[in-house]
């Protein structure tokens, strides 16, 4: 950075200069990274959506996901220094191996394969975390003609997923290594245990003394709860009875598509705190409609053609709500915590993943209606906290400017 600044403004950067970075190399890395992420996460996203419906014996599927997200919560606290020590390329390659191992464990699902794979994936996911929905279409294609409960189609599906992940991991190896020496080895602030602990406490604990963060945390937690609800409860109790296991892929593809489209639309209309104040309650209203719909009439949604369309409509509405919450939370944290972005987004990762783990651990032990009541209470608390936050921020700003 200093070498670029020290050069005259009209001096061109030439190849061989330490400050020179070929644009074509950057474009190449972007294409490789995009393709690798697509191959890895289209497989993992679809595999995760099937856990509550395929691995039902002793609830191993949902429990494994609970362990995964609990592990992710813990490892998220130390992911930043780990990435700095490993370097970007090595961290990406290592991270993809966790997803590969988790899908491989599904070929022979047991407590001895799924639990270690889930713990390791929690670590891997803490250093790379991206979402895709495209792999659900592969699920629909490979399981669409198979009999429910048959293992041959499921085995083939997970083998296809493994192949996709293997290609993605291999692509990661072709990424260009950075020449930034500052990324090699542990950063100066982490050279001893004491300074590491102090930095960790500052990152995780310090934001909790800010009233704004305390008011946002319920909304962050709910965003995690509603994602896990879709993955664990919605696929198991709503989609599968109406469309079968093969229909999970189609429903989740609808969910992912509307999630992505709504994220783009909501992001386009987000211009500041005033727009966020309008958009978030809109997303909450959509989710309330779906949750009350399920609470009052879910047992009568599985008959006939109309009953088969209901899960797809609900998936679309839930996807819209998730897209709104994700974009607005990121925008809100960016606006309110410009001075401590790393700490703010660390809170986002920790509380989201912890609430996701809670749903997966609770799912085998409570009914769908009990889960819906929990979701409705959490949504009401989170929206009330959010609205109080916006009023408090506006009042503080007005008194400060006055």
Which residue shows structure tokens 């639309």?
A: 265
Which residue shows structure tokens 């992001």?
A: 267
pLDDT > 90: what percent of the chain?
Answer: 25
* Tokens, residue 140: 């629909």
Maximum mean pLDDT: which of 36-40, 93-97, 321-325: 321-325
> Residue 10's pLDDT is what?
41
* Tokens, residue 188: 């100066």
Tell me the pLDDT tens digit for each residue of 25-58: 567 777 777 788 778 877 888 888 888 887 888 8
3-state secondary structure of 173: coil
Distance CA(64)–CA(62), nearest Å, equals 5
Distance CA(354)–CA(128), nearest Å, equals 17
In angstroms, the Cα distances linking 182 to 4, 303, 360 are 16, 61, 40
Please provide the size of the chain in residues: 402
More confident position, 87 or 281: 281
Distance CA(318)–CA(331), nearest Å, equals 20
* Tokens, residue 399: 């008194």
3-state secondary structure of 78: coil
* Tokens, residue 29: 């890395």
Alpha helical stretches, state H, 128-245: 135-143, 151-172, 193-204, 211-229, 240-243
Tell me the pLDDT tens digit for each residue of 204-224: 777 888 899 999 999 999 999
- Identify the DSSP state of 1: -
pLDDT-based confidence at 370, cuts 50/70/90? very high
- Among 303, 288, 353, 268, smallest CA distance to 69 is for 353
Tell me the pLDDT tens digit for each residue of 141-156: 666 555 544 556 677 7
> Residue 402's pLDDT is what?
53
Tell me the pLDDT tens digit for each residue of 229-246: 998 899 888 888 888 877
Residue 129 exposed, middle or buried by CB count within 10 Å (0-12, 13-18, 19+) = middle
> Residue 7's pLDDT is what?
39
pLDDT at position 20 over 80 = no
* Tokens, residue 19: 């400050």
pTM exceeds 0.85, yes or no: no
- Among 379, 378, 398, smallest CA distance to 390 is for 398
Tell me the pLDDT tens digit for each residue of 165-211: 888 878 877 777 654 444 445 555 555 666 767 777 777 777 888 89
């Amino acid at each position: 950075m200093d070498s670029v600044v020290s050069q005259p403004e009209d001096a061109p950067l030439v190849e061989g200069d330490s400050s020179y970075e070929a644009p074509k190399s950057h474009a190449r890395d972007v294409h490789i990274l995009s393709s690798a992420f697509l191959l890895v996460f289209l497989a993992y996203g679809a595999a995760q959506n099937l856990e509550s419906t395929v691995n039902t014996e002793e609830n191993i599927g949902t429990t494994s996901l609970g362990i995964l997200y609990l592990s992710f919560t813990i490892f998220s606290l130390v992911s930043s220094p780990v990435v700095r020590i490993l370097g970007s390329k090595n961290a990406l390659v290592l991270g993809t191996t966790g997803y590969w191992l988790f899908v491989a464990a599904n070929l022979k699902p047991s407590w001895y394969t799924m639990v270690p794979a889930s713990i390791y994936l929690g670590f891997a996911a803490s250093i790379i975390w991206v979402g895709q929905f495209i792999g659900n279409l592969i699920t629909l294609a490979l399981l669409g003609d198979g009999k429910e409960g048959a293992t041959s189609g499921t085995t083939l599906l997970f083998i296809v997923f493994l192949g996709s992940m293997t290609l993605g991991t291999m692509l990661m190896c072709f990424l260009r290594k950075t020449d930034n020496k500052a990324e090699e080895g542990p950063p100066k602030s982490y050279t001893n245990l004491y300074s590491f602990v102090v930095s960790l406490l500052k990152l995780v604990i310090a934001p909790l003394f800010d009233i704004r963060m305390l008011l946002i945390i319920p909304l962050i937690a709910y965003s995690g709860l509603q994602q896990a609800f879709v993955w664990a409860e919605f696929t198991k109790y709503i989609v599968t009875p109406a469309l079968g296991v093969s229909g999970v892929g189609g429903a989740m593809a609808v969910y992912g598509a509307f999630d992505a489209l709504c994220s783009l639309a909501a992001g386009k209309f987000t211009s500041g705190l005033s727009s966020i104040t309008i958009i978030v309650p809109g997303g909450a209203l959509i989710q309330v409609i779906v949750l009350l719909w399920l609470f009052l009439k879910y047992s009568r949604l599985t008959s006939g053609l109309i009953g088969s369309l209901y899960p797809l409509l609900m998936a679309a509405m839930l996807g819209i709500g998730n897209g709104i919450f994700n974009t607005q939370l990121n925008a809100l944290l960016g606006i309110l915590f410009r001075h401590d972005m790393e700490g703010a987004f660390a809170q986002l990762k920790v509380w989201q993943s912890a609430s996701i783990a809670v749903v997966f651990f609770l799912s085998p032990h409570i009914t769908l209606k009990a889960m819906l009541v929990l979701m409705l209470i959490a949504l009401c608390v989170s929206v009330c906290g959010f609205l109080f936050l916006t009023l408090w921020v506006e009042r503080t700003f007005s008194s400060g400017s006055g």
